């Protein structure tokens, strides 16, 4: 709702000119630690695939284990859409706490599941929280980090998910060891410990301020400037020594929220090719990851006779490869460029998955070589997947950034949500040829996404968010601030 008020601000330019500092590291830590927790929990679930089939636990079938992952992913879809809209309406910081508490509640409740229905319900609740986290956190990352390093920082933060996966792999090796913890209780303890660790994130979140960019579009200029000024003082003892500002101040129309009609117009009519791009990248990476990771333990147990309690040993190198990929390749997304790197990482990972699927079909792989192959593939695919989140958070206007992330994340997750169920059923059938063709399908989706990126990708490297997508509330007029002078927005 517009208030017929206008503001002029240079908040965005001041944020982008800041040198990297201790303050930025604190932001990275406070936001990245959530992905560590998420990775820890999802790794627990992946490692528990074989354990939860045993009569002494929940006695689930392969299909039910895959369905449990699907309910978690559907929860992410619901949470992303609901909390994604809320993060644009009420602010990034407020939603940090709501989404995190929802996520932790679902995680802890999972430990008390007595049957498949309870397990699926609690996984759904946990999913809603983490779906909301994706929108709020990725919005905040891009709006607080300087443009020149935004790509590598965004990829690195998203990769911390796999640091949590590594911790989860190590942790399950202990709590799922029947010599240390009874099998009937080890899996419950895994979820409880994950929830307790998650409470520590609440302490770190106090370091992250509300996004000054979000504040300025809501007319809270004084708050936005106070935050930026405090960061400038923390970065340097003499703010006057910072690089000069580039460009003119932004002129923004103050509004309480963005109408749905304007949101739809921006996504469907103003930036249609960007919407196709975001949808394609998200769907491809979601299907790839969900098809492999959520059934990782089942593959090892079913086809390589790996004991269920030792699956975490094989998860550790897989997670390590996923962690290193965005960290080592991230810099190239800011130097070589977004289009080139996104195209290459998607295409190469898709082709390698098909090749590995063929080797799996003809039976030449062992549990060790299968793990090595997946680790290499996802070293590359992890950078590709992280770049999908980076892309959708960069290429849409500030006022709808959270919702845009939510919409395309939800589309990708919803499409990928069927993957664990499909792959779980195929694994249960024991058919190697069927799995090979399923892997080929997932790989083909990645190659198609690479082609779309090559044609529709946006050169966003080292560019300010406002130059990539002009804020919907920005108005341009030659002299006086008169609503009648505001030009009608056209398609771009």
Handedness of CA 275, 278, 284, 287 (dihedral sign): negative
Residue 371 C-alpha from the chain's centroid: 24
Distance separating alpha carbons of residues 400 and 417, to the nearest angstrom: 25
The pLDDT of residue 354 is above 70: yes
Please state, for a pLDDT cut of 90, what percent of the chain lies above it. Answer: 24
Q: What 3-state class would DSSP assign to 243? A: coil
Condensed to tens digits (0 to 9), the pLDDT of residues 190-221 reads 778 777 777 777 777 777 888 888 888 777 88
Q: Which of 211, 181, 212, 232 is nearest to 92 (CA)?
A: 211
Do 190 and 48 meet the contact criterion of CB atoms below 8 Å apart? yes
pLDDT digits (tens, 9 = 90+) for 389-414: 899 989 998 888 888 888 888 888 77
Q: How many CA atoms lie within 13 A of 367 on its CB side?
A: 19
* DSSP string covering 303-360: HH---GGGHHHHHHHHHHHHHHHHHHHHHHHHHT-HHHHHHHHHHHHHHHHHHHHHHH
- Cα 352 from Cα 365, distance rounded (Å): 14
Q: What residues contact residue 449 under an 8 Å CB cut-off, 6+ apart?
A: 280, 281, 283, 284, 285, 346, 350
Q: What is the CATH number of domain 8-214+257-462?
A: 1.20.1250.20
- Chain segment 247-302, per-residue pLDDT in tens: 777 777 777 677 778 888 888 889 999 999 999 999 999 899 888 877 777 888 88
- Cβ-count burial 265-290 (b if 16+ within 10 Å, e if not): ebbeebbeebbebbbbbbbbbbbbbb
CA dihedral 277, 282, 288, 292 (to 10 degrees): 170
Instruction: Give pLDDT, residue 4.
Output: 58
Q: What percent of the chain has pLDDT over 70?
A: 91
DSSP 265: I
- 367-394 and 338-361 are packed helices; what angle lies between their axes, rounded to 10 degrees? 150
Q: Distance of CA 69 to CAs 19, 45, 383, 441, Å?
A: 42, 8, 23, 20
Is residue 108 within 8 A of residue 192, CB to CB? The reply is yes
Locate the domains of the chain by residue range: 8-214+257-462
Q: For the whole model, what pTM was predicted? A: 0.82
Average pLDDT, the chain: 82
| Alpha carbons 14 and 229: distance in angstroms, whole number | 9
pLDDT above 80: residue 41: no
Residue whose token pair is 């990245």:
32
């Amino acid at each position: 709702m517009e208030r017929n008020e206008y503001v002029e601000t240079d908040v965005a330019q001041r944020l982008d000119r800041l040198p990297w500092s201790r303050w930025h590291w604190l932001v990275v830590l406070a936001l990245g630690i959530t992905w560590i927790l998420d990775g820890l929990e999802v790794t627990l679930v992946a490692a528990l695939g074989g354990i939860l089939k045993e009569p002494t636990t929940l006695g689930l079938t392969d299909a039910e284990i895959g369905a449990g992952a699907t309910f978690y992913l559907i929860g992410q879809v619901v949470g992303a859409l609901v909390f994604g809209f809320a993060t644009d309406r009420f602010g990034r910081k407020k939603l940090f706490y709501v989404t995190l508490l929802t996520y932790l509640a679902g995680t802890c409740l999972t430990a008390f599941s007595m049957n498949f229905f309870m397990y699926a319900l609690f996984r759904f609740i946990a999913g809603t929280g983490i779906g909301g986290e994706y929108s709020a956190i990725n919005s905040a990352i891009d709006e607080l980090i300087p443009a020149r390093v935004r790509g590598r920082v965004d990829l690195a933060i998203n990769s911390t998910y796999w640091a949590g996966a590594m911790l989860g792999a190590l942790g399950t090796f202990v709590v799922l060891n029947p010599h240390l913890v009874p099998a009937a209780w080890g899996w419950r303890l895994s979820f409880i410990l994950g929830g307790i660790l998650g409470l520590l994130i609440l302490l770190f979140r106090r370091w992250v301020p509300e996004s000054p960019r979000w504040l300025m579009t809501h007319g809270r200029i004084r708050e936005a400037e106070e935050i930026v000024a405090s960061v400038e003082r923390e970065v340097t003892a003499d703010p006057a020594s910072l690089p000069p500002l580039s460009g003119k101040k932004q002129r923004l129309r103050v509004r309480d929220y963005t109408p749905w009609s304007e949101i739809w117009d921006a996504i469907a009519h103003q930036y249609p090719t960007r919407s196709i791009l975001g949808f394609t990248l998200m769907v491809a990476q979601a299907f790839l990851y969900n098809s492999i990771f959520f059934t990782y333990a089942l593959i090892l147990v079913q086809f390589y006779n790996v004991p269920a309690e030792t699956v975490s040993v094989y998860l550790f190198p897989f997670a390590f490869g996923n962690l290193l990929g965005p960290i080592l390749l991230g810099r190239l997304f800011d130097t070589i460029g977004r289009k080139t790197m996104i195209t290459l990482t998607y295409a190469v990972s898709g082709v390698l998955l098909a090749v590995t699927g063929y080797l799996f079909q003809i039976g030449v792989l062992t549990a060790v070589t299968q793990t090595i192959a997946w680790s290499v593939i996802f070293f590359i695919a992890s950078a590709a997947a992280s770049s999908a989140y980076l892309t959708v958070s960069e290429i849409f206007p500030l006022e709808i950034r959270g919702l845009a992330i939510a919409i395309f994340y939800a589309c990708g997750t919803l499409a990928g949500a069927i993957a664990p169920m499909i792959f779980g059923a195929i694994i249960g059938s024991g058919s190697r040829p069927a799995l090979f063709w399923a892997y080929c399908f997932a790989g083909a989706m990645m190659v198609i996404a690479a082609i779309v990126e090559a044609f529709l990708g946006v050169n966003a490297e080292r560019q300010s968010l406002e130059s990539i997508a002009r804020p919907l509330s920005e108005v341009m007029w030659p002299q006086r601030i008169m609503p009648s002078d505001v030009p009608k927005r056209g398609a771009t």
